[in-house]
């Protein structure tokens, strides 16, 4: 229950942050920066706090992950 509420709050806060950011940057740039920051923070969290629970992506998996994430962001906000 807690994770569901946390997810809802975090997801809804994304639209608010982009609306504030529209004053200084285009929405696609804001979404891409948000995607990269969130992904980087999640990777750091998994690497430092959940070490051994999840594996880090292999070298050949990074390119498809980044491309899919960027396409998701551009199609979602575009």
Asked whether the whole model's pTM tops 0.75, one would answer no
pLDDT score at 60:
93
CA dist 62 and 68 (Å) reads: 10
Q: What is residue 61's predicted lDDT score, i.e. its pLDDT?
A: 93
Q: What does the alpha-carbon distance between residue 61 and residue 59 come to, in Å, rounded to a whole number? A: 6
Say if residues 17 and 34 touch (Cβ distance below 8 Å).
yes
Q: How many CB atoms lie within 10 A of CB 69?
A: 15
Helix (H/G/I), strand (E/B), else coil: 73: helix
The pLDDT of residue 76: 67
**For each successive 10 residues of the chain (78 residues), what is the average pLDDT?**
80 75 80 79 84 84 86 70
pLDDT given at position 77: 61
């Amino acid at each position: 229950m807690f994770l569901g509420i946390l997810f809802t709050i975090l997801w809804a806060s994304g639209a608010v942050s982009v609306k504030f950011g529209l004053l200084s940057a285009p929405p696609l740039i804001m979404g891409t920066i948000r995607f990269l920051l969130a992904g980087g923070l999640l990777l750091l969290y998994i690497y430092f706090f959940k070490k051994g629970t999840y594996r880090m992506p292999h070298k050949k998996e990074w390119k498809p992950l980044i491309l899919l994430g960027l396409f998701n962001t551009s199609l979602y906000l575009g």
